[in-house]
A and B are shown apart, each in its own frame.
Chain A
Amino acid sequence: MNENFELENMRQQMNTLKKKLEQQEIVNDRFIRHSMEKTAGNISRRYYFIMAVCLLMIPYSYWAFVKLNGFSIPFWIFTCITMLVSFGGTFYNSRKLGDSNMMTNNLVDVRRRMASAKKFDANWLLIGIPMAIVFLGWFMYEAYLLHPNAFFNGLFWAGCIGGVLGAIWGFSLHFRTQRQYQEIIDQIEDITAE
């Protein structure tokens, strides 16, 4: 009898403990901030890679298009402009990530910056897709001028395959970046909603 009372008493005490703990929230602010910082770092690294590719493409395109294949200088200048515009846009958006110190800044402010960066990144397609179409069209035209009687030569197919692969790669990067921005925004909303 005494034994059962003791054990029953212990179970009640356990229930009391559980009730007290259930009312508590885990102080997980820093954990979530770390997770956000990791995601933002991932986007930043991708931006740095894109910026490096854009800059490298300027001398490379001169060698590959003008020197090697004999494309026109205006086409190379247009390629340079395309790359510089891409560099500028990426650099502008990367600054929003760089300025957002995830571990210390006000989360509402970080969320605002992330939403703005996500929107800019989404709107970038409005510039990026027409630029890519013009670039590819001009590329085909240049190839046609060089080889008017052999339209289906290697250069034409290289352009087609490169264009398709580039589009797939670009879209996959774009959607991954969009998804990661949304993850950061969702995580901030999770914290600030508490």
Chain B
Amino acid sequence: MTTERQFAQTVAEHKSTIYTVCYMFSQDADEVNDLFQEVLVNLWKGFEGFEHRSDIRTWIYRVALNTCISIDRKKKRRSSEVRLTMDINLFEDRDEDTKQVDMLHKRISKLQPFDRAIVLLWLENLSYEEIGQIVGISTKNVSVRLFRIREQLKQMSND
């Protein structure tokens, strides 16, 4: 199997993970597509060098979160010849499910980018250890931060 096909298959398997991260770090449909594109470009750059020493899902989370956190939104949006995205607009669809998703987005987007990353991984049912590995902090630090995030979220719902 060629590298391109392996990559396409890996992206297809983890598309919802990648898109979820991008969605939580975006404010509109264009931004989510730009981020999705940017994450795929970074994944592609590192794909051949990925040595499978860590789980592919962990690696994808790391690349996606690093891209989303570090991207400078003031920069001109990257325009690429090859557009890769999903035919969905979570910012404009108005069905009941999308409203629920939108509530989640609003809550998460109020958090700081780093906390956003941690809560996203926690919502994906990753262990504290895995979260720590991805964002580069200790397991204990993850639990402390998650406690604070929960407090913040609780505060938000009370407001």
Interface pair A187/B5, CB less than 8 Å apart: yes
Q: A18-B16, A30-B83, A35-B2 are in contact. Are A24 and B123 (CB under 8 A)?
A: no
Task: Count A-B contacts at CB 8 Å.
Answer: 89
**Complex alpha-carbon distance, A139 and B75, angstroms:** 67
The answer for the CA separation of A3 and B83 in the assembled complex, in Å, is 41
Q: Which of B16, B20, B107 has the most CB of A within 10 A?
A: B16
- Are B19 and A21 interface neighbours, CB within 8 A? yes
Is B88 touching A21 in the complex (CB atoms < 8 A)? yes
Report the separation of the CA atoms of residues A179 and B8 in the bound assembly, to the nearest whole angstrom: 19
A107 CB → nearest B CB, Å = 15
* C-alpha gap A73/B3 in the complex (Å): 50
When A10-B104, A21-B20 are in contact, do A26 and B97 touch as well, CB less than 8 Å?
no
Q: How far is the CA of A31 from the CA of B3 in the complex (A)?
A: 13
The reply to whether A26 and B15 form a contact with Cβ atoms under 8 Å apart is yes
CA distance A131 to B94 in the complex (A): 70
Cβ A3 vs Cβ B86 within 8 A: no
B20 close to A18 (CB less than 8 A)? yes
Query: Does any Cβ of B come within 8 Å of A28's Cβ?
Result: yes
Contacts of B124 in A (CB 8 A): 14
Q: Which chain A residue has the least Cβ–Cβ distance from B3?
A: A35
* Chain A 34-57 interface mask (CB, 8 Å, partner B; 1/0): 110000000000000000000000
Q: If A26-B12, A31-B8 touch, does A2 touch B84 (CB 8 Å cutoff)?
A: no
**What's the tally of chain B residues with a CB closer than 8 Å to chain A?**
33
A107 vs B107: C-alpha distance when bound (angstroms): 44
Taking a contact as CB atoms closer than 8 A, the residue among B2, B12, B123 that contacts A10 in the complex is B123
State which of B20, B97, B157 has its C-beta within 8 Å of the C-beta of A6. B157
Q: Are B154 and A27 in contact (CB under 8 A)?
A: no
In the complex, are the beta carbons of A24 and B157 less than 8 A apart? no
Would B16 and A34 count as touching, CB distance under 8 A?
no
| A11 cross-chain contacts in B, Cβ below 8 A | 123
Bound CA–CA A16/B98 (angstroms): 8
Q: Which residue of A lies closest to B125 (CB)?
A: A11
Would B23 and A26 count as touching, CB distance under 8 A?
no
Closest Cβ–Cβ distance, residue B138 to chain A (whole Å): 22
Q: Tell me, in angstroms, the Cα distance from A67 to B4 when the chains sit together.
A: 50
**B144: interface (CB < 8 Å):** no
Task: Give the distance to chain A from B52, nearest Cβ to Cβ, in Å.
Answer: 22
Report the minimal beta-carbon distance from B48 to chain A, rounded to whole angstroms: 14
Is there an interface contact between A22 and B86, defined as CB atoms closer than 8 Å? no
Which 9 A-B pairs give the minimum distances between C-beta atoms?
A21-B16, A13-B104, A35-B4, A24-B86, A14-B123, A17-B101, A13-B100, A16-B97, A16-B100
Other than the known A17-B90, A17-B101, A26-B84, what 9 A-B pairs have Cβ atoms closer than 8 Å?
A2-B154, A10-B123, A14-B104, A16-B97, A17-B20, A20-B97, A24-B15, A26-B12, A28-B11
Report which B residues bind A (CB closer than 8 A).
2, 4-5, 8, 11-12, 15-16, 19-20, 23, 81-88, 90, 97-98, 100-101, 103-104, 107, 123-124, 150, 153-154, 157
6 pairs of residues in contact across A and B, judged by CB atoms under 8 Å: A3-B153, A13-B101, A34-B82, A35-B4, A183-B2, A187-B5
